[in-house]
Structure 1
Amino acid sequence: MPRRSSDKPDKPSAYSKALGLLARREHSRRELKLKLRQGGYEGEEAGEALDRLGEQHYQDDDRFAEMLVRSRVAQGYGPMRLRAELKSHGLADARIRAVLDAAEVDWNAQAAAQLRRRYGAKSAPDAAEMARRAQFLLRRGFPAATVRSVTHADVDDAADDEA
């Protein structure tokens, strides 16, 4: 019997669905697994599809991590934020450290660039403004030592001001 235009086409395989998602952008294995589950694919079918994609090098958590780090560094985020985001994608701590080390980012220069972009070249006129700037960098994921060296603020006081 011919299919009418109102009939729904057959649901694509988990492999096809995951491949389509990867064609748009890199995904972590955990992220693809979640999207497949949300799409109604069973665990075994999804697992086999992800294994096959990994064997074919279409899905690679290392490549995903490197892409994410490059992207987030370009957006002005610090290493603590990157570490948390990579952890949420299911990457191991050792792999996260290796990817961040391989990025070879000067985090002090990155933090200083974010301050200039947000607040201009003028220095903070008072302690309250210095604390506000320090909190900005902390929220972006820069470590307290980096924030202290870039803003010359006492980060502990800045954290007290926000609480």
Structure 2
Amino acid sequence: MAVLETPMAIRKVAMDLLAMREHGRLELKRKLLRKGALPELIDNVLDQLTQDKLLNESRYLESYIRSRANNGYGPLRIQQELLERGINKTEITQALDESGYDWQEQLQMVWERKFGNSPKDLKEKAKQGRFLLYRGFNIGMINKLKKFNIN
């Protein structure tokens, strides 16, 4: 592994990563450390990227939420993943609120795509419920789901 010893080398690698997709500050820092960047230089480079508007947490949040929601994940799962990536809970909550997603409608689409039919018995209903919980939808939303009652 090559050691990135200069701010210019670190900036180039960071910009290459940002060119592929948006990154959060902590996520980018971890990747740079794995690529051999000197820890004492990373923060200054990241500060400069932020100042140059190349690294932007709100843009990252918006992009991440859109991507995960389009893949069928709910707000709780997205929030947990962003917390693991070092994003502040207040910022996450605000970004989720401002995302414009109708999470109940999103849940309905995920359920219809995966199951389509009402559960036949309690066992099947529990299975469907566990899947939707895993996907990040809360129990209140799941209980409001149309056609989620046993036939």
Normalising by structure 2, we get a TM-score of: 0.89
Residue pair 2:75, 2:96 contacting (<8 A) in 1 also:
yes
2:17 matched residue in structure 1 = 21
1:128 matched residue in structure 2 = 123
Secondary structure, counterpart of 1:13 in structure 2: helix
2:74 matched residue in structure 1 = 78
Q: What are the ranges of 5 or more consecutive residues in structure 2 without an aligned counterpart?
A: none
Which amino acid letter does the alignment assign opposite residue 144 of structure 2? S
**Within-5 A mapping of 1:89-108:** 89-108=85-104
Q: What are the ranges of 5 or more consecutive residues in structure 1 without an aligned counterpart?
A: 1-7, 154-163
Equivalent residue pairs, number = 144
2:27 matched residue in structure 1 = 31
Distance in 1, Cα, partners of 2:73 & 2:60: 17
Deviations 1:8-28 (A, max 9, x none): 9x9761111101110111111
User: How high is the sequence identity, in percent, across the aligned residues?
Assistant: 34
Distance in 2, Cα, partners of 1:124 & 1:110: 19
Normalising by structure 1, we get a TM-score of: 0.83
Q: Which has the larger radius of gyration?
A: 1
| Structure 1 moving runs of 4+ over 3 Å | none
2:105 matched residue in structure 1 = 109
Counterpart selection for 1:88 from 84, 91, 98: 84
TM-fit CA distance, 1:104: 2.1
2:135 matched residue in structure 1 = 140
Q: Does 1:59 align with 2:82?
A: no
TM-fit CA distance, 1:114: 0.7
Secondary structure, counterpart of 2:144 in structure 1: helix
